[in-house]
Amino acid sequence: MADWLGHYAHSCYCRGWLRQHEKILNLPWKPNVRRAEKSNAIDIIVSGLGGGLNHEQWSQYFTEHVPPFKPAERAEWLSKLTDVSVSSDAFFPFRDNIDCAKQFGTKYIASPGGSTRDDEIVEACDEHDMVLIHTGLRLFHH
């Protein structure tokens, strides 16, 4: 998998899970903050990029100071993501897709199979103690 793709998948996965953290679910919003503004502010907080905003910018959204995630706090929360299921409408072409999925607590994978490298995919799933089901149903056509 290309480095940028792995990083992108990792950041999307992490941001999605971090949005479920108690700190995010209980943000002290001002009453006039719109949904899109909330979404953008949450993205900044969970991405770790919030340090670039000054107090005045943050104060338009929140009734009190919102500290960024500490690295240890972030790592602890991300480690709680377990027993994740992943499915694909096409086969997995390379084992690094499986290796990457394992980093996010993946335990179960469903895909149609049919790759010339299916043996490598099965081997990777076995190594990571993941359940792989080949559905035989390919939904991705081009």
Q: Please report whether residue 65 resides in a domain.
A: yes
Percent of the chain past pLDDT 90, that is, above it, reads 39
E strands within the chain?
84-87, 106-111, 131-134
**Could you tell me if 73 and 109 lie in one domain?**
no
- Output phi, psi for 26, to 5 deg: -115, 30
Question: What is the model's pTM?
Answer: 0.63
Q: Count how many domains the chain has.
A: 2
More confident residue, 82 or 15: 82
Residue 104, domain member (yes or no): yes
My answer on whether 51 and 115 are in the same domain is no
Average pLDDT over residues 2-31: 74
106 within a domain of the structure (yes/no): yes
Instruction: Calculate the average pLDDT of the chain.
Output: 84
Q: Rounded to an integer, what distance in angstroms lies between the CA atom of residue 105 and that of residue 124?
A: 14
- Is the pLDDT at 10 greater than 60? The verdict is no
Lowest mean pLDDT among 44-48, 64-68, 92-96: 44-48
**pLDDT surpasses 50 at 6:** no
Strand extents, DSSP E, 46-99: 84-87
- Residue-wise pLDDT for 89-127, tens only, equals 888 888 998 998 888 889 999 999 988 999 999 999 999
